[in-house]
Structures are given as structure tokens and as C-alpha cells.
Amino acid sequence: MNIHEYQAKELLSKYGVAVPMGKVASHEDEAEQIAKDLNVEKFVVKAQIHAGGRGKGGGVKVANMLDEVKRLASEILGMNLVTHQTGPEGKLVSKVLVEEASNIATELYLGMVIDRATEKIVIMASQEGGMEIEEVARTNPEKILKEYVDPTVGLLPYQCRKIAYFLGLKGKTVNKAVKFILGLYQAFTEKDCSLAEINPLIVTNDGDVFALDGKMNFDDNALFRHPDIEKMHDPNEEDPTELEAKKWGISYVKLDGNIGCLVNGAGLAMSTMDIIKHHGGEPANFLDVGGGATADQVLQALKMILSDPNVKAIFINIFGGIMKCDTIAEGVISAAKEVGIEVPLIVRLEGTNVELGRKLLSESGLNIITGSDMREAAGKAVDAAK
Ligand code: ADP
Ligand code: MG
């Protein structure tokens, strides 16, 4: 789960990570009041969406006067912000963060992720702040320091000093950075983060360090331990179909292709996408109805697939283990009755009650293409989508 910048800053400040003073607003008047209360000389108004590149997209603006804050807030609130991370459709801005503008001497980069290969947390630091770190990693990998932290030992102060020196920090700024990095690490581990990225981490003209931006991602499987984090969830940031799927206990991820997939089991869903690609096709989605899906869930899943206008064929690939093939057949038949399936339907059934499932489908009067095995059925689905 991702959270907004303002939420990340609120959370991090509790861990001693220095962030600029500021507050979130959903209305221009509120934004102006926040600026008034801040009582500083310069302000920044920042669009709150779950995507980076807001600065370049026009979602981060500096204001010198209170009425300027109000004007900028009214411009940014309600705008459809397009950045390289939102895709061309952009994202609607419904909140802005109003904060004190910092006097930036240098912009740096600091990030933390879990490295599954080494089973450690890796801290990445670079003097190339404000830039895409992926770009730096590709063109100038030597400009990134990677410091590995054994979670059973924890992050040690000498490692933080090493990072601070790599970032070119000096004097009292080193100590401030050490406190900053230790705080970020504590938040990362206590809250079960999978990613924390401060880009830019800045040094001010006075030698202070601040998180000017904050991106945090949390492990969904650990959210039950953190009701405070779960509360930060913003449903507006999620794909509406994916949200609907969650309600029904279905895992659905929309993709760009034209073959809708309905599969039981995440592993089979992955290999179904692989085999579609193998035949030169493109899946329109990842969809796992789960091991023990009901006919109702199958109906919902089909409705979701059909709501995607790109879908030109549907490939149902079921291995009946816990799930029975006749349950799938019932779901397909009721979906066809309820919503009508206009696109070719390719079905591959195998496993428990397969004979009964096939019988139900063949007696349903539906126009179904069957495949004797997964490979053949996938090939037929790819042909049908053309
Ligand atoms: P994004 O990464 O989405 O573009 P950032 O929060 O990193 O958004 O802001 C983009 C740029 O705007 C920063 O690199 C920094 O130069 C400037 N900026 C952001 N917040 C402040 C602030 N509080 N004071 C001064 N400049 C800021
Ligand atoms: Mg940034």
C-alpha cells in the first residue's frame, strides 16, 4: 500500500526525521489559512497524488504571498495532473500540501528497499538528488552507494556516517544526517515498509537536512499489524475495478492487452499470461478467482473482464482442485445470461468434476471454443482475439 507525501511526512516526523513545517488542505481557503499559520516568508503548494514527477508536471509551485498560495491551491486542486508516472490519463488532484519553502543548498537522494536476494535492507544514497534514481543507476551506477543492513543487527551509526560522507556532508550536518537516517530506518522496520524514498533529501544553507519529498510503500500482508497505516489508505488512488475485485476476494490487475483471463490460483494465472505471450498474444489482465471460488465470484470476475473495452477474447483456464469445474461452468453460464458475452470464449477445464463442467457448458447453448490442453486453448484464444 502506498501513502501520500503529507502522510509520509507526518509519520516520519514522529521518528525524528526532519521535514518542513506544513499541512494538507482540500480547499483553497484552508490552504491560505495554513500558510497564514505557518508564518514564514515563502511557501510551496504541492499536489498530493501517488505519483512522482509532480514538479515537472506543474504540481509543485512556490508562493511568496498568502493570496498567491490561495491562487496556486485553487489552480492545483481539481487539476488533472499528468506526470511520467501517472500515464497519459493523469490523476485528479483533491489535496494539496502547503509547506514552508526551504532554502536548498543541495538536493540528495536517500532510499531504502528490501533486498530479497541478500535478505537485507539496502539503503541507497546518491548526490544526484531530484533525479530519477533508476536513470542514475543506468548511466552512473558509481554515483550510488548501497549500504546493506542486516535486520537482526539493525542499522549501526557508523553505517549512517559512511552514507553521510558519501553524500559529501560535513561538520554538524553529518550528525543531523545520522539522526535522519536512523529515524527513517526505524520507521521502515517498525511499520513493515517495502520502500521508503526521500527524493530529494536536502541540505539547507544553514546546514540542516530535511526530507523535501517522501514516498513510502507498506507490505500489504503486514497491514493488520498497523491499523494507523491502514487508515491512510486512499481509495481514490486505486483502479476502480481492482478495488471492486478486492471486495469480492478476487485478485485482479489490469494490463494493456486484449485477452481477458479468468484463472484459479496465482501460479496458474502467471503461467496463463506466459503462455498467451508465448503464442504472440497480450493478456488484458491478471485475474485469480482463488482456490475455492463460488459461482458468484466467477460471475463477478467475468463482469470485470467484460467491463474492459479492450477485451477481444476471454480465456478461462481452470484446474479444478478445491474449485470444482461445474462451479466454473455455472458461473460462466449465469454471466452469459446476465451480461451477455459477445466476444469469443475459450475454455480449458481440467480436474475435479471436469466431465460435469464440460457437460453443463456444452448443453448451455453458449458458443464456446474448447482446447484439449492449456497450450492449445491459449493458441486458440490468441487467434480469436486477432
Ligand atoms: P516530485 O518528486 O513529485 O516532483 P518533489 O516533492 O520532489 O515532487 O518536489 C519537486 C521539487 O520541488 C524538489 O526537487 C524541490 O526542488 C522542490 N520543492 C519541493 N518541496 C519544496 C520545499 N518545501 N521547499 C523548496 N523547494 C521544494
Ligand atoms: Mg521527489
Instruction: Supply the pTM of this predicted model.
Output: 0.81
- What cell was used for 143? 554515483
Ligand 2 ion: nearby residues, β-carbon < 5 Å: 199, 213
**Burial of 203 per CB tally in 10 Å (0-12, 13-18, 19+):** buried
pLDDT of residue 356: 94
pLDDT of residue 290: 83
Q: Which atom of ligand 1 is nearest to the CA of 210?
A: 23
pLDDT of residue 196: 98
pLDDT of residue 238: 82
Q: How far is the CA of 108 from the centre of ligand 2 (A)?
A: 10
Exposure b/e, 216-225, CB count within 10 A at least 16 = b: bbbbeeeeee
The residue assigned the cell 492449456 is 374
pLDDT of residue 58: 95
Q: What is the DSSP string of 134-185?
A: HHHHHH-GGGEEEEEE-TTT---HHHHHHHHHHTT--THHHHHHHHHHHHHH
> What does the pLDDT profile of the chain (386 residues) look like in tens digits?
999 999 999 999 999 999 999 999 999 999 999 999 999 999 999 999 999 999 999 999 999 999 999 999 999 999 999 999 888 889 999 999 999 999 999 999 999 999 999 999 999 999 999 888 999 999 999 999 999 999 999 999 999 999 999 999 999 999 999 999 999 999 999 999 999 999 999 999 999 999 999 999 999 999 999 999 999 999 888 888 888 898 898 999 989 899 999 998 899 999 999 999 999 999 999 999 987 778 888 889 999 999 999 999 999 999 888 888 998 888 888 888 888 888 999 999 999 999 999 999 999 988 899 888 999 999 999 999 99
**Which residues form ligand 1's pocket by a CB distance below 6 Å?**
20, 44, 46, 52-55, 60, 99, 101-102, 104, 107, 130, 199-200, 212-213
pLDDT of residue 239: 80
Q: Which atom of ligand 1 is nearest to the CA of 129?
A: 14
pLDDT of residue 237: 87
Q: Which atom of ligand 1 is nearest to the CA of 102?
A: 24
Report the DSSP pairing between strands 60-63 and 43-47. antiparallel
pLDDT of residue 371: 85
Which run of H or E residues covers position 75? helix 66-76
